[in-house]
Amino acid sequence: MTIERILELISKKHPETDLTIVKLAFEFAKEAHKGQKRQSGEDYIQHILETTYKLAEMNIDIPTIIAGLLHDVPEETKFTLDEIKKNFGREVASLVEGITKVGSIKYRGLERYAENLRKMFVAIAEDVRVVFIKFADRIHNLKTLYALRPVKQQRIAKESLEIYAPIANRLGMSELQNELEDLAFPYVYPEEYKWVIKISKKKYEERRGDANKIIKKVWQKMSEINLVPLSVYGRAKRYYSLYNKLLRKDMDIDRIYDLVALRIITKNADECYRVLGAIHSFWKPVSGRVKDYIAQPKPNGYQSLHTTVYCDDKIVEFQIKTKEMDEEAEWGIAAHWAFKSASNKNATRIPIDPEKLKWIKGLLNQREKIQMPEEYLEKLKIDFFKHRIFVFTPKGDVIDLPENATPIDFAYHIHTYIGSHAIGAKINTKMATLDASLKNGDMIEILIDKKRAKPSEEWLFTTQTHLAKDKIKQALKENRIGIFRLFNR
């Protein structure tokens, strides 16, 4: 990969964009990572370029592209976040900072943590563009996963499958979801992967051949009735998605009709319905398989008309949608970061339809005490979560605390009794002191002593929450009164 290819891709899509600052960011990154190698033996800058190319493919705005080029600088080089801020501004710096923060979240492979981790991931990112960069970064890491130790391979692949891919799904980014899943699949389920390849190889070839014949027929029939679509193409189902569908269909590949689905892209929604009508007049629909996701979009915003028809002796699924619906299905909310118009020199963001953000909204609604102003959501800035960390109870519940919170803050958050009887703590199953500083994703267990333990005045200096401080003061006061009474009897 080269910077020229990235610049070419951006200017092909947006000829008028000023790329000077992108070039500067590249020079900065190249200098910072000079001499560094990846485990795979490649120069480190290759990882940076591959990550950034993916972002350029996503048609994302320039600050995100620049942050992509700089995403590993604070963690992996001698240059700091402050230097990034000085050279490239606050917006880029805060995106890079977000990347560093989400990097601290690690999946320990416990099923019950998964959903909480997904929420944490998005919350900590603070800006959804950070999630896009992390996805692009992760895709290249998966492509070079072979170079890592098996233990690390497993963690990264599982995390991609259980945390990243479901987030991509909920953000409606099916292209990225598929890519993450298919790259992680062979590492997480090697036997199943081999099996799926074996049973589907011939079928795919057959169905591709069928699809090409049907596409010709579609063009022919559509032109006969003067209803010409923008494009018609076949789309092969990805392996991991096929595997999951097989699990639901008794492992019978003949019951999977969208192994190669046919997509018809039209100018507008009205034409989608006319095309659907036309398809049904040429070929008999399979009953119960017509779905109108245009009138009723899926929860992640997916829109399309689906139908399955008998084409001669074959059963084929058609997906009919507009160009916008198609782009959004591939890139989800990232599609909204596309440049508004090529004539505008500055990258402009199209405001996000809050309806598309139901999942993120759901995450925020859980925090009933705090009201989120609507405009924050539109910008996808989740500022409330700034300076907060998320930690786990041994049962997998998530507790959010201020930065630098200690096990004592955690203990009082759980229950006053636990707080005032704490004698020690385990962080990620290792013994730790009660004044330790907690980090994102830590699992905390509090050890208590019902008889001897009591709050200490020193706790007041290390705790961060008002709750803990108030409870400690109260307990100290009660103790003092107790002592006072003892001496004045």
Binding site for Mn ion (CB under 5 A): 72, 137
Task: Quickly count: other Cβ atoms within 10 Å of residue 238's Cβ.
Answer: 16
Distance of alpha carbon 243 from its chain centroid, rounded?
A: 21
Shortest spacing between CB 361 and Mn ion, in angstroms: 29
Shortest spacing between CB 11 and Mn ion, in angstroms: 25
CB nearer to Mn ion: pick between 140 and 237: 140
Using an 8 Å Cβ cutoff, are 212 and 260 in contact?
Answer: no
CB nearer to Mn ion: pick between 149 and 452: 149
CB nearer to Mn ion: pick between 76 and 175: 76
CB nearer to Mn ion: pick between 67 and 432: 67
Helix (H, G, I), strand (E, B) or coil at 284: strand
What is the spatial distance between Cα 440 and Cα 447, in angstroms, rounded to a whole number?
Answer: 20
Shortest spacing between CB 129 and Mn ion, in angstroms: 15
Shortest spacing between CB 140 and Mn ion, in angstroms: 7
Shortest spacing between CB 123 and Mn ion, in angstroms: 21
Shortest spacing between CB 33 and Mn ion, in angstroms: 10
What is the spatial distance between Cα 347 and Cα 322, in angstroms, rounded to a whole number?
Answer: 24
Positive or negative, the CA dihedral 75, 78, 81, 85 is negative
Closest to 127 (Cα-Cα) out of 439, 378, 404, 346:
378
Amino acid at 41: G
Shortest spacing between CB 175 and Mn ion, in angstroms: 20
CB nearer to Mn ion: pick between 133 and 222: 133
CB nearer to Mn ion: pick between 133 and 360: 133
Residue 400 burial by Cβ neighbours in a 10 Å radius (0-12, 13-18, 19+): middle
Shortest spacing between CB 47 and Mn ion, in angstroms: 6
Helix (H, G, I), strand (E, B) or coil at 88: helix
CB nearer to Mn ion: pick between 137 and 181: 137
Shortest spacing between CB 158 and Mn ion, in angstroms: 18
- List alpha helices for 189-261, DSSP H: 190-224, 239-248
Helix (H, G, I), strand (E, B) or coil at 80: coil
CB nearer to Mn ion: pick between 137 and 159: 137
What is the spatial distance between Cα 216 and Cα 316, in angstroms, rounded to a whole number?
Answer: 14
Helix (H, G, I), strand (E, B) or coil at 189: coil
Q: How many helices (H) and strands (E) does the chain have?
A: 21, 11
What is the spatial distance between Cα 67 and Cα 99, in angstroms, rounded to a whole number?
Answer: 9
Nearest residue to Mn ion by CB is 137
Positive or negative, the CA dihedral 180, 120, 446, 423 is positive
CB nearer to Mn ion: pick between 104 and 344: 104
